[in-house]
Amino acid sequence: MLTEWLDEQIRIQGLTDTQQQYLKRGVVFLNELDQVLTAENFVSQTETLVLMVQAYLEKWVMGEAA
Protein backbone atom coordinates (compact mmCIF):
# COMPACT_ATOMS: atom_id res chain seq x y z
CA MET A 1 0.00 0.00 0.00
CA LEU A 2 2.81 2.43 0.87
CA THR A 3 4.58 1.66 -2.40
CA GLU A 4 1.41 2.38 -4.38
CA TRP A 5 0.91 5.66 -2.50
CA LEU A 6 4.53 6.69 -3.09
CA ASP A 7 4.29 5.92 -6.81
CA GLU A 8 1.08 7.96 -7.03
CA GLN A 9 2.70 10.91 -5.26
CA ILE A 10 5.71 10.75 -7.57
CA ARG A 11 3.36 10.86 -10.56
CA ILE A 12 1.35 13.76 -9.14
CA GLN A 13 4.49 15.78 -8.37
CA GLY A 14 6.01 15.06 -11.78
CA LEU A 15 9.40 14.19 -10.31
CA THR A 16 12.31 13.55 -12.63
CA ASP A 17 14.02 10.15 -12.66
CA THR A 18 16.83 11.57 -10.52
CA GLN A 19 14.37 13.05 -8.01
CA GLN A 20 12.56 9.72 -7.85
CA GLN A 21 15.82 7.90 -7.14
CA TYR A 22 16.70 10.27 -4.30
CA LEU A 23 13.21 10.02 -2.83
CA LYS A 24 13.24 6.23 -2.94
CA ARG A 25 16.72 6.13 -1.39
CA GLY A 26 15.43 8.33 1.43
CA VAL A 27 12.48 6.01 2.00
CA VAL A 28 14.78 2.97 2.10
CA PHE A 29 17.03 4.76 4.60
CA LEU A 30 14.07 5.58 6.87
CA ASN A 31 12.87 1.98 6.63
CA GLU A 32 16.30 0.69 7.66
CA LEU A 33 16.45 3.23 10.49
CA ASP A 34 13.03 2.07 11.66
CA GLN A 35 14.42 -1.45 11.99
CA VAL A 36 17.07 -0.41 14.54
CA LEU A 37 15.40 2.34 16.59
CA THR A 38 13.50 1.42 19.70
CA ALA A 39 10.28 3.23 20.55
CA GLU A 40 12.11 5.22 23.24
CA ASN A 41 14.90 6.24 20.85
CA PHE A 42 12.42 7.22 18.17
CA VAL A 43 10.47 9.48 20.51
CA SER A 44 13.61 11.19 21.79
CA GLN A 45 14.98 11.65 18.27
CA THR A 46 11.79 12.77 16.51
CA GLU A 47 12.84 16.41 16.13
CA THR A 48 16.22 15.45 14.69
CA LEU A 49 14.66 12.93 12.32
CA VAL A 50 12.12 15.48 11.06
CA LEU A 51 14.87 18.04 10.42
CA MET A 52 17.03 15.44 8.63
CA VAL A 53 14.18 14.31 6.39
CA GLN A 54 13.17 17.89 5.62
CA ALA A 55 16.73 18.88 4.71
CA TYR A 56 17.19 15.75 2.58
CA LEU A 57 13.96 16.37 0.66
CA GLU A 58 14.75 20.05 0.12
CA LYS A 59 18.30 19.45 -1.09
CA TRP A 60 18.16 16.17 -2.99
CA VAL A 61 14.58 15.77 -4.12
CA MET A 62 13.15 19.23 -4.60
CA GLY A 63 16.54 20.88 -5.13
CA GLU A 64 17.05 18.69 -8.19
CA ALA A 65 14.12 20.45 -9.85
CA ALA A 66 15.69 23.89 -9.49
Q: What is the pLDDT of residues 11-34, one digit of tens each?
A: 898 889 999 999 989 988 988 988
Which string of DSSP letters, residue by residue, matches 44-61? HHHHHHHHHHHHHIIIII
Query: Phi then psi for 28, rounded to 5 degrees?
Result: -60, -45
- Asked if residue 26 lies in contact with residue 60, where contact means CB atoms within 8 angstroms, the answer is yes
pLDDT at 6: 85
pTM of the model: 0.70
CA 45 to chain centre: 16
